Amino acid sequence: MKKTYMLLFLVFILVCAFIVPNTVFAKQKVIGVTAIWMGNDWNIYCSGEVKKALEAKGYKVIHSNAEGQTRKQVMDTENFMQRGVDGIIIAGGEGPAFIEVSKKIKAAGIPLVAVDMVLPGAISGVYADNYSGGTQMGIFLSTKMKGEGKVIVLDTPGWHSLLIRARMAQATFAEFPGIEVLNTFEVGVADPVGEAYNIVKSTIRKHPDLKGIITTWDMPTVGAIKAVKEMGKTEQIFISSADPGKPLLAEMAKPDAPVMMCMGQNARVLGQLAAEFMDRALTQGVDSVPLSVFGPTYFISNGDPETDFSKLTPMTPAECWDIYHYDTKRPF
């Protein structure tokens, strides 16, 4: 009798092995995600949404932070490939630096999804419209300055998307002979607020008639606002920025802030799309994934932009906070 029960038990185990879906016994797939930096909301949200979405589908996610160093981010990406991960997501960075490694990844048969950069080896690119956004930054500033005056640009090397914003903003100034770009300053990631503050304050001392500032992302803008306020130039200087991080929105909402705009991207959506396309590529094949898709773009202003930006979903700092930073209580 015992032998009969034992035989029946073994048969039951064997039947279960065939009935239970193969995915239960399949090896857990691993996705490598690399970020250029994790010091502002854009990068935190993008990488965070990728990780959350993929882990919810059963993937293991390994994440690297290049701490603002493009060379390290490229090496991290190559390391993912050598470790034999099942997929790679590059969540922002200096696009041209990844061209060669993206080709190697493609040759190795590993799906690659690129966020906010164009790469020949990627199966899909998830973008914010930095070209249009940069143009709107320039148009806003040119309009507020009445087509004349001195401008400076604060940019940060290592992000291709920031370079595009700066280039497109400055391209609009070519249409206004009365606008003079004094200089383009590089701001590092170690202390972007402090560096921007010192640059703007020093520039105002040398050029007290400065009328406009272009900042390509949120943290340097916080420093620029502080300098403009301390120098008593809030009625004179206008600012065009990008990336509606919490510190920037809080500064924009203050009644004594200079009139400014911020070109906003929803990094949460970009991260979600990147994760979705990676999962689709691994479960349905790369042909099921679109080659490119654009996420939403917002136009945030604390003053009348004097221009119709309806196609960019205009909103106030408070409205943007409630959409973008919904999991953090608004302080204003």
- pLDDT at position 23 is 42
Residue appearing with tokens 């992000």: 159
The CA-CA-CA angle for residues 15, 20, 21, to 5°, reads 140
Q: Clarify whether residues 244 and 310 are in a common domain.
A: yes
Distances (CA, A) of 24 to 32, 84, 89, 109, 236: 22, 21, 25, 24, 64
Q: Clarify whether residues 113 and 206 are in a common domain.
A: no
pTM for this model (two decimals) = 0.87
Q: Clarify whether residues 77 and 46 are in a common domain.
A: yes
Q: Clarify whether residues 101 and 164 are in a common domain.
A: no
Q: Clarify whether residues 51 and 195 are in a common domain.
A: no
Q: Clarify whether residues 142 and 105 are in a common domain.
A: no
Is 161 within the bounds of a domain?
yes
Any idea what the CATH number is for the domain that residue 85 is in? Answer: 3.40.50.2300
Is 21 within the bounds of a domain?
no
Task: Classify residue 72 as exposed, middle or buried by CB count within 10 Å of its CB (0-12, 13-18, 19+).
Answer: middle
- As for how many domains the chain has, the answer is 2
Residue appearing with tokens 């099942």: 86
Is 202 within the bounds of a domain?
yes
- pLDDT at position 312 is 60
Q: Clarify whether residues 217 and 78 are in a common domain.
A: no
Helix (H) / strand (E) containing 137:
helix 130-144
Is 282 within the bounds of a domain?
yes
Is 177 within the bounds of a domain?
yes
- pLDDT at position 104 is 96
Q: Clarify whether residues 82 and 136 are in a common domain.
A: no
User: What is the rounded CA–CA span in Å between residue 136 and residue 240?
Assistant: 9
| Structural Rg of the chain based on CA atoms | 24
Residue-range definition of the domain harbouring residue 220: 130-265+297-324
- pLDDT at position 160 is 85
Q: Clarify whether residues 135 and 124 are in a common domain.
A: no
- pLDDT at position 25 is 44
Is 166 within the bounds of a domain?
yes
- Write out residues in the chain with pLDDT < 70, as ranges: 1-26, 305-313
